[in-house]
Amino acid sequence: MSSTIYQATCSAPVNIAVIKYWGKRDTSLILPTNDSLSVTLDQDHLRSVTTARADASFGGQDRLWLNGEEEVIKADGRLRRCIDEMKKLRQAKEANDASLPKLSEWAVRVCSENNFPTAAGLASSASGFAALIASLAALYELQPEVSTSELSRIARQGSGSACRSLFGGYVAWQGGEQASGQDSLAVEVAPQSHWPDLQALICVVSDAKKGTPSTAGMQRTVQTSPLLQHRIKDVVPQRMKDISAAIQNKDFDTFANITMADSNNFHACCLDTAPPIFYMNDVSRAIVQLTEELNRASEAEDKGKLAAYTYDAGPNAVLYAPKANMPTILQTIRHYFPNADFDDTFDLLGKGANASHRGAQDAVALPQSLPAAFNSNVIPVHEAGAVRRLIHTQVGDGPRVLERGLGAESLLTEQGEPLRLQRAKRA
Amino acid sequence: MSSTIYQATCSAPVNIAVIKYWGKRDTSLILPTNDSLSVTLDQDHLRSVTTARADASFGGQDRLWLNGEEEVIKADGRLRRCIDEMKKLRQAKEANDASLPKLSEWAVRVCSENNFPTAAGLASSASGFAALIASLAALYELQPEVSTSELSRIARQGSGSACRSLFGGYVAWQGGEQASGQDSLAVEVAPQSHWPDLQALICVVSDAKKGTPSTAGMQRTVQTSPLLQHRIKDVVPQRMKDISAAIQNKDFDTFANITMADSNNFHACCLDTAPPIFYMNDVSRAIVQLTEELNRASEAEDKGKLAAYTYDAGPNAVLYAPKANMPTILQTIRHYFPNADFDDTFDLLGKGANASHRGAQDAVALPQSLPAAFNSNVIPVHEAGAVRRLIHTQVGDGPRVLERGLGAESLLTEQGEPLRLQRAKRA
């Protein structure tokens, strides 16, 4: 072992797109068919944490553990590509400064964990690859010489949407035009501090009635959907401009209109695929109808929209809303979808911040704050657990360096073993 | 009362589109944004029957009863327009032949009934308006001078898709380009006799979880869906050509591919509407997935597709298939969707033609005839009644003149009262 431990531990956030990424023009380099735009969610609530260490004693073999399980780093795989690209950047830095230790020549060990269970129904590849790139960047001390957008270009090759998790706030992934992918990277549209008022309520939807899972269909849509071509050429470009302006203006109504339209447009292209791809189920659709009715009723009082829904490649709804609307939205969701597990992040229920609400609950009445014109029969009250879990969070910052060197945050032991695995061995 | 009773009774069929009609370029004349194409279903199973009588003693007032209830014929309404257009054609005929009775100057009474309950979830406006036009055409003795396509132009102004029910077999509604609507009419693509082998299984899907019904959304799609414009311009024209050729060639595989793609494309445009329109529910989607799996497994054996699904503006599936495939399809549907009411039109179960199967049934095993590669876990076996009813029928002929004059088929009494209403009064 080297006398110095070269190590960094970083956390990275989840992001949820409002202009959706669907379809690759290059599946190897992960180059998308269109631009996309997302909101980065607060790492205080949802995050991936990764420790990366370089050591001469590790031998030639890079190793990586994800949630305690070792992953094979395949020779032509995405992990390999990301680590190699980061090593190249370190190598360039070392070439310019002979005094630097030759970390680029040593193997790395990487240990990564998500603080949200798979059962939350959230994709972890974006935050996971972002944390990988952030921890290697910190280990190799690449910034500020290497820009965050340049790092995002590498994260993109791990998982497309990971590039957007390199920034906080409001983030665009510019799809780019070059075959090399050099211009396919993330840029900040606005920082978290520009519009910190935006919150998100993630509704984790039960998918009990599903049969055999359908295979991933992004490229099937590219190959078979006539509508996707129209979405790429004529729909997304204008929406990217319009929603960027809405974010600059903190114009929630426009932001909501575009967010909902683009979610529906994306799922329409999935449905237009042969064979069709369905991600939303009856509960997803009920949340759409409820949100539309909340907005209709609010607009009938000349108030703006209350919330915007968006759906990724699954049945879960993410509702974006200004902070002030969240108590109404939360109570309405809990009325129609009883018994969802819920950690009360922002103490909306007055039982203390992060108070846990689990299992059987009393029936939740509709809130007094509902617009007068709200039609309470818009959807029926659903069976208990139709929405399994609610996660209340907000727009957040980009990756954080939690620690340089070996300290309390490290996921690797002094010997370079994954800490969780180590704990399991001891137990 | 006149000494002669001038009357005709006709039946007209239901049609189910395989290239969908969605969106009007003129809402008053009912001019569509795109061509559409349908299969006419057998009147022996599903039909509207209409009696039309003209009599000098009826006074100035046309009257119409639908399923025993009198309908108001509004001055600017669709019924008014249809009856007036038919009277104009009669007037022209009378102008050419002074010996004809002046039926065009007399009021008409029309009595119409559907043999399928509203609960069947089938739109009755197409067969209903087709029967209205057919019975007036027979009463006024307009054919063969007036062509069926010319009659379809009038039926179109009652209910768009009614124009397609004026023909049997395979029928195109040419959307036309003229502002007057003169070129917006139905034409026969192929008669029933050209490809009589095609059958249909209508799966009436329970919609128990629905909240407040959404309002009709066709024009909302025209106004708000960017994808619909692409469908109109770039998707439908080629599909019209291709499916017409498939019908000429009795090429079920191509027919099935286009039918399924167009159903999905239509529902994609509904989803792309603001607010989105959902017609298919989780049961509808399960039938899609089951059909896709049947087809995949059959194609794995180098056999063709087994069935094609299509969905109109509701959750019901219509499965088209060659006659030989129907036993497999029926038994598979009855396995995954237990306890559907079913009249065995073609005696597939060997209990006699039209034997009625109602309520609780024994579990239905998967058929031995399934392709070996079929994955039986593609969808779960659903709760009893998820599919409420199955209707097995086939491609059929166009409107039939059941009777001229007052006879056994008449829905009007000798006095010109609706027969069903008359019966109710007597009882």
DSSP characters over A179-245 = TT-TT-EEEEEE-GGGSTTEEEEEEEE--TT--SPPPP-HHHHHHH-HHHHHIIIIIHHHHHHHHHH
pLDDT at position A427 is 47
Q: Scanning every residue of chain A, which has its alpha carbon at the shortest distance from the alpha carbon of B315? A: A282
Q: Decide if B276 and A265 are in contact by the 8 Å CB cutoff.
A: no
- ipTM of the predicted assembly exceeds 0.95: no
Q: pLDDT tens across B185-208, in order?
A: 999 999 999 999 999 999 999 877
Q: Decide if B211 and A377 are in contact by the 8 Å CB cutoff.
A: yes
Of A340, A348, A284, A356, nearest in space to A316 by CA? A284
Instruction: For residue A271, give Cα distances in angstroms to A267, B35, B78.
Output: 6, 22, 34
Instruction: For residue A230, give Cα distances in angstroms to A219, A225, A236, A261, B233.
Output: 16, 9, 9, 15, 11
Q: Scanning every residue of chain B, which has its alpha carbon at the shortest distance from the alpha carbon of A209? A: B380
Q: For residues A9 and A138, what is the distance between their CA atoms, to the nearest angstrom?
A: 8
Structure tokens that stand for A124 in this block: 């972890």
pLDDT at position A169 is 98
Average pLDDT of every residue of chain A: 94
Q: Are B370 and B291 in contact (CB under 8 A)?
A: no
Mean pLDDT confidence for B417-422: 80
Q: For residues B53 and B121, what is the distance between their CA atoms, to the nearest angstrom?
A: 30
pLDDT at position B421 is 66
Confidence of residue B2 (pLDDT cuts 50, 70, 90): very low
DSSP characters over A108-120 = EEEEEEESS-GGG
Q: pLDDT tens across A132-167, in order?
A: 999 999 999 999 999 999 999 999 999 999 999 999
Dihedral of the CA atoms A343, A347, A351, A352 (nearest 10)? Answer: 90
Q: pLDDT tens across B128-146, in order?
A: 999 999 999 999 999 999 9
DSSP characters over B359-420 = S--PPPPPPTTS-TT--TTSSPPPPTTSEEEEEEEEB----EEEEESSSTT-SB-TTS-BHH
Mean pLDDT confidence for A205-231: 84
Higher model confidence: residue B211 or residue B311? Answer: B311
Q: Scanning every residue of chain B, which has its alpha carbon at the shortest distance from the alpha carbon of A280? A: B282
Of A271, A275, A377, nearest to B268 by CB-CB distance is A271
Angle at B190 between CA A227 and CA B121, to 5 degrees: 60
Confidence of residue A421 (pLDDT cuts 50, 70, 90): low
Q: For residues A168 and A397, what is the distance between their CA atoms, to the nearest angstrom?
A: 4
Q: Min CA distance, B293 vs chain A (Å)?
A: 10
Of B361, B366, B369, nearest in space to B344 by CA? B361
Sign of CA dihedral A276, A280, A283, A284: negative
pLDDT at position B60 is 83
Mean pLDDT confidence for B258-285: 96
Name the A residues in 227-266 with CB < 8 Å from any B CB.
227, 229-231, 234-235, 257, 260-261, 264-265
Interface mutation target, options A205, A227, A337, chain B, most CBs of B under 10 Å: A227
Q: Scanning every residue of chain A, which has its alpha carbon at the shortest distance from the alpha carbon of B228? A: A227
Chain A CB within 8 Å of residue B92 CB:
no
Q: What is the amino acid identity at position A403?
A: E
Q: Decide if A380 and B211 are in contact by the 8 Å CB cutoff.
A: yes
How many beta-carbon pairs below 8 A join chains A and B? Answer: 111
Domain boundaries, chain A: 6-191+398-426, 198-394
Sign of CA dihedral B71, B74, B78, B79: positive
Q: Min CA distance, B303 vs chain A (Å)?
A: 18
Of A276, A284, A270, A278, nearest in space to A315 by CA? A284
pLDDT at position A216 is 66
Confidence of residue A118 (pLDDT cuts 50, 70, 90): low
Q: pLDDT tens across B286-333, in order?
A: 999 999 999 999 999 999 999 999 999 999 999 999 999 999 999 999
pLDDT at position A356 is 87
pLDDT at position A116 is 82
Rounded to a whole number of angstroms, the distance between the first and last alpha carbons of chain A is 26
Q: Inform me whether the pLDDT recorded for A25 exceeds 60.
A: yes
Q: Please report which helix (H) or strand (E) contains residue B422, including its range.
A: helix B419-426
Mean pLDDT confidence for A227-232: 97
Interface mutation target, options A262, A272, A335, A377, chain B, most CBs of B under 10 Å: A272
Q: Scanning every residue of chain A, which has its alpha carbon at the shortest distance from the alpha carbon of B290? A: A211
Confidence of residue B74 (pLDDT cuts 50, 70, 90): very high
Q: Inform me whether the pLDDT recorded for A426 exceeds 70.
A: no
Confidence of residue B1 (pLDDT cuts 50, 70, 90): very low
Mean pLDDT confidence for A386-399: 96
Q: Min CA distance, A227 vs chain B (Å)?
A: 6
Q: pLDDT tens across B350-399, in order?
A: 888 888 888 656 789 999 999 999 999 999 999 999 999 999 999 999 99
Q: Helices marked H in B177-325 — which ranges?
A: 218-224, 226-230, 236-248, 252-271, 282-300
Q: pLDDT tens across A96-116, in order?
A: 999 999 999 999 999 999 998
Query: In this structure, which topology does domain A6-191+398-426 adopt according to CATH?
Result: Ribosomal Protein S5; domain 2 (3.30.230)
Of A11, A134, A123, A132, nearest in space to A77 by CA? A132
Q: pLDDT tens across A36-51, in order?
A: 999 999 999 999 999 9
Confidence of residue A323 (pLDDT cuts 50, 70, 90): very high
Query: In this structure, which topology does domain B198-394 adopt according to CATH?
Result: Alpha-Beta Plaits (3.30.70)
Which chain A residues contact residue B288 at CB under 8 A? 275-276, 278
Angle at B284 between CA B281 and CA B289, to 5 degrees: 125
Please tell me the CATH code under which domain B6-191+399-426 is placed: 3.30.230.10
Q: Min CA distance, A256 vs chain B (Å)?
A: 12
DSSP state of B161: G
pLDDT at position A1 is 44
Chain B CB within 8 Å of residue A380 CB:
yes
Structure tokens that stand for B324 in this block: 């030989």
Which residues have C-beta within 8 Å of that of residue A199, sequence separation ≥ 6?
A320, A321, A322, A323, A326, A346, A392, A393, A394, A395
Q: Inform me whether the pLDDT recorded for A120 exceeds 80.
A: no
| pLDDT above 70: percentage of residues in chain B | 95
Q: Decide if A278 and B268 are in contact by the 8 Å CB cutoff.
A: no
Q: pLDDT tens across B77-120, in order?
A: 999 999 999 999 999 999 999 999 999 999 999 999 999 876 56
Q: What is the CA radius of gyration of chain B?
A: 22
Q: What is the CA radius of gyration of chain A?
A: 22
Q: Are A275 and B292 in contact (CB under 8 A)?
A: yes
Q: Scanning every residue of chain B, which has its alpha carbon at the shortest distance from the alpha carbon of A238? A: B226
Q: Decide if B234 and A257 are in contact by the 8 Å CB cutoff.
A: no
Of A212, A229, A278, nearest to B285 by CB-CB distance is A278
Q: Decide if B273 and A281 are in contact by the 8 Å CB cutoff.
A: no
Q: Decide if A211 and B380 are in contact by the 8 Å CB cutoff.
A: yes
Interface mutation target, options A282, A290, A375, chain B, most CBs of B under 10 Å: A282
Does the bond joining A275 to the residue before it have cis omega, within 30 degrees of 0?
Answer: yes
Of B211, B268, B282, nearest to A272 by CB-CB distance is B268
Chain A CB within 8 Å of residue B220 CB:
no
Q: pLDDT tens across A163-180, in order?
A: 999 999 999 999 999 999
Q: Inform me whether the pLDDT recorded for A2 exceeds 80.
A: no
Residue A338, phi then psi, degrees to nearest 5: -70, 155
| pLDDT above 70: percentage of residues in chain A | 95
Higher model confidence: residue B213 or residue A323? Answer: A323
Q: Inform me whether the pLDDT recorded for B26 exceeds 60.
A: yes
Q: At what angle do helices B78-96 and B125-139 cross, to 10 degrees?
A: 20
pLDDT at position A286 is 97
